[in-house]
């Protein structure tokens, strides 16, 4: 009930007015964006935000700025907290895209093009000759958009392979990494064990993230599927193409490994491959530097192709996780941007990519080129990835790809992790839902 006080409550009022003026103040500066302020100077270049790529980009730009003082380039790493695709899409809506970005995933290029955000690179007269010199036969077409133009400069690829702990394999009497599913499983049976004798397992064959986030399936299901299907992707001409034996075999393989306990379902802290808890690991070339940096002195590791279903034979195709370079339509001087892109894919910069970021440039005849050959000879682990590089594939360019992967991931959980569905049923259900999604 109303109190008897009749004097105005000045304190409350002051607080309220202060709050309100704050709101009004904020409305004035709410829309401003730090990125827009830097616009006036030369070009803005967004590399990926990991430490190696930031170093790579900073060095490249320092070199460029020394050579081209009239076209200064500013490096702005993509904000870390979220995926590059989200950041770029938000930037497209806000018209705050950079001039050049080198972390473009081919899976979203279609969407960017439809939003009229990218510059067609084949409009530059020297694009064709440059691309032809860079790309192995036949691969150039994979980057062409539906409208016949190419909007991305193929830059780097990261073949996904099996990393394994050499000593643990040797201790269990295995001389070679497993090439087939049954070899993998019998090796897993030998390597998954209780070492300290407390009645609970403390060493396993491999850690597979059981979270259902769609993108996790690139590195287990999709990588194994590309290998098992001999390089068939999931969608062709908006038709689902993965309802086949290869997919069933992959689901069956993961289901069995989980059921046998070769893949633990618990969560762990730290790097379980480095700690010796896991004998193998699905990973890419970037992990070489990481393991070298943190391993103990006597830790030995090596890489091998992805295992295949029994009865299949190589050569093995794998997922490549490619990242390309694009120029955005917000760029005011595309000629300068194109010159900068050409600089980024020059031989010297490709070598820096190998050296600094341990990632592979998409470039013809890497092993035969003396510039790269010398580096690869001194880095035999990197050479394994370079050998694999010509047989890598990216993802299909459907805008609904995430949803398709989400559908697969849901079935992966139900079938492989929980063992509630047969591989046949899981593949059928995933395919059915994908058809609905693509409708």
Q: Which residues bind another protein (CB under 8 A)?
A: 1-3, 5-9, 12-13, 15-20, 22-23, 26-27, 30-31, 33, 79-82, 86-87, 89-90, 92-94, 111-112, 114-115, 117, 211-214, 265-270, 399-400, 402-403, 406, 410, 413-414, 417-418, 420, 433, 436, 439
* Beta carbon of residue 215, minimum distance to another protein (angstroms, whole number): 10
β strands within 11-98, DSSP E: 43-46, 73-75
> What is the spatial distance between Cα 128 and Cα 437, in angstroms, rounded to a whole number?
35
Task: Please state whether beta strands 73-75 and 318-319 pair in parallel, antiparallel, or not at all (unpaired).
Answer: unpaired
* Smallest gap from residue 93 Cβ to another protein (A): 6
- In eight-state DSSP terms, residue 416 is I
Which of residues 185 and 404 has its CB atom nearest to another protein in the complex? 404
Quick check: 344 and 323 in contact, CB under 8 A?
no
- Specify the DSSP class assigned to residue 414: I
CB 285, min distance to another protein, A: 22
Q: Which of 220, 156, 163 is nearest to 358 (CA)?
A: 156
Task: Tell the burial category of 225 from Cβ atoms under 10 Å away from its Cβ (0-12, 13-18, 19+).
Answer: buried
Task: Give the span between the Cα atoms of 95 and 164, in whole angstroms.
Answer: 45
Query: Vertex 150, ends 147 and 154: CA angle to 5°?
Result: 150
CB closer to another protein, 56 vs 92: 92
Measured at the CA of 402, the angle between CA 398 and CA 406, to 5 degrees, comes to: 135
Q: What are phi and psi of 378, to 5 degrees?
A: -80, -15
- Residue 270 beta carbon to another protein: minimum distance, rounded to whole angstroms: 7
> CB-wise, 161 or 240, nearer to another protein?
240
Return the axis-axis angle of helices 245-259 and 401-412, rounded to nearest 10°.
Answer: 40
Nearest distance in Å: CB 12, another protein: 7
Closer Cβ to another protein, 91 or 150, answer by number: 91
Closest to another protein by CB, 288 vs 417, is: 417
Taking each helix axis from N to C end, the angle separating 245-259 and 221-228, rounded to the nearest 10 degrees, works out to 130
When the beta carbons of 180 and 272 are compared against another protein, the nearer one is: 272
Output 193 or 213, the one with its CB closest to another protein: 213
Nearer to another protein, 14 or 348 (CB): 14
What distance in Å separates the CA atoms of residue 283 and residue 261, rounded to the nearest whole number? 21
Q: Which is nearer to another protein, 8 or 173 (CB)?
A: 8
DSSP symbol at 71: S
Tell me the closest approach of the beta carbon of residue 138 to another protein, in angstroms. 30
CB closer to another protein, 267 vs 378: 267
Q: Are 181 and 249 contacting, i.e. CB atoms less than 8 angstroms apart?
A: yes
Q: How far is the CB of 263 from another protein (least distance, A)?
A: 15
Rounded to a whole number of angstroms, the minimum distance from the CB of residue 332 to another protein is 20
∠ Cα 408 109 144 (to 5°): 105
- Asked if residue 157 lies in contact with residue 273, where contact means CB atoms within 8 angstroms, the answer is no
Q: Of 149, 98, 141, nearest to 124 (Cα)? A: 149
Q: Minimum distance between the CB of residue 219 and another protein, rounded to whole angstroms?
A: 15
Least distance from another protein to the Cβ atom of residue 293, Å: 18
């Amino acid at each position: 009930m109303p109190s008897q006080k009749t004097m105005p409550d000045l304190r409350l009022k002051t607080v309220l007015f202060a709050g309100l003026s704050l709101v009004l103040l904020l409305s004035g500066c709410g829309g401003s964006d730090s990125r827009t302020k830097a616009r006036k100077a030369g070009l803005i270049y967004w590399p990926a935000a990991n430490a190696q790529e930031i170093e790579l980009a900073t060095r490249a730009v320092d070199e460029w700025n020394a050579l081209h003082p009239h076209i200064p380039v500013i490096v702005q790493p993509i904000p870390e907290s979220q995926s590059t695709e989200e950041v770029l899409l938000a930037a497209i809506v806000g018209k705050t895209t950079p001039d050049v970005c080198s972390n473009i995933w081919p899976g979203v290029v279609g969407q960017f093009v439809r939003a009229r955000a990218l510059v067609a690179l084949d409009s530059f007269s020297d694009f064709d000759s440059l691309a032809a010199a860079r790309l192995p036969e036949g691969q150039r077409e994979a980057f062409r958009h539906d409208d016949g133009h190419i909007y991305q400069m193929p830059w780097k690829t990261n073949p996904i392979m099996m990393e394994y702990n050499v000593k643990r394999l040797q201790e269990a009497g295995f001389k070679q990494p497993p090439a087939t599913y049954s070899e993998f499983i019998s090796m897993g049976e030998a390597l998954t064990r209780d070492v300290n004798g407390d009645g609970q397992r403390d060493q396993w064959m491999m850690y597979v993230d059981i979270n259902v986030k769609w993108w996790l399936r690139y590195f287990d299901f999709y990588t194994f599927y590309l290998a098992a299907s001999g390089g068939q992707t999931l969608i062709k001409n908006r038709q689902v193409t993965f309802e086949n034996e290869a997919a069933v075999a992959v689901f069956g393989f993961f289901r069995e490994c989980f059921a046998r306990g070769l893949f633990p379902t618990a969560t762990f802290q730290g790097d379980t491959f480095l700690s010796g808890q896991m004998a193998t690991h699905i990973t890419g070339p970037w992990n070489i530097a990481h393991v070298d940096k943190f391993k103990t002195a006597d830790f030995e590791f090596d890489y091998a192709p992805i295992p295949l279903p029994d009865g299949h034979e190589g050569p093995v195709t794998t997922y490549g996780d490619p990242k390309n370079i694009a120029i955005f339509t917000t760029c005011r001087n595309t000629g300068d941007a194109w010159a900068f892109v050409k600089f980024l894919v020059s031989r010297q910069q490709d070598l820096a990519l190998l050296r600094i970021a341990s990632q592979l440039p998409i470039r013809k005849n890497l092993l035969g080129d003396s510039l790269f050959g010398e580096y690869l000879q001194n880095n035999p682990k990197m050479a394994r990835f370079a050998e694999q590089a010509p047989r890598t594939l990216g993802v299909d360019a459907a805008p609904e790809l995430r949803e398709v992967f989400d559908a697969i991931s849901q079935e992966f959980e139900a079938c492989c992790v929980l063992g509630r569905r047969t591989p046949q049923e899981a593949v059928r259900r995933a395919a059915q839902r994908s058809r609905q999604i693509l409708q």
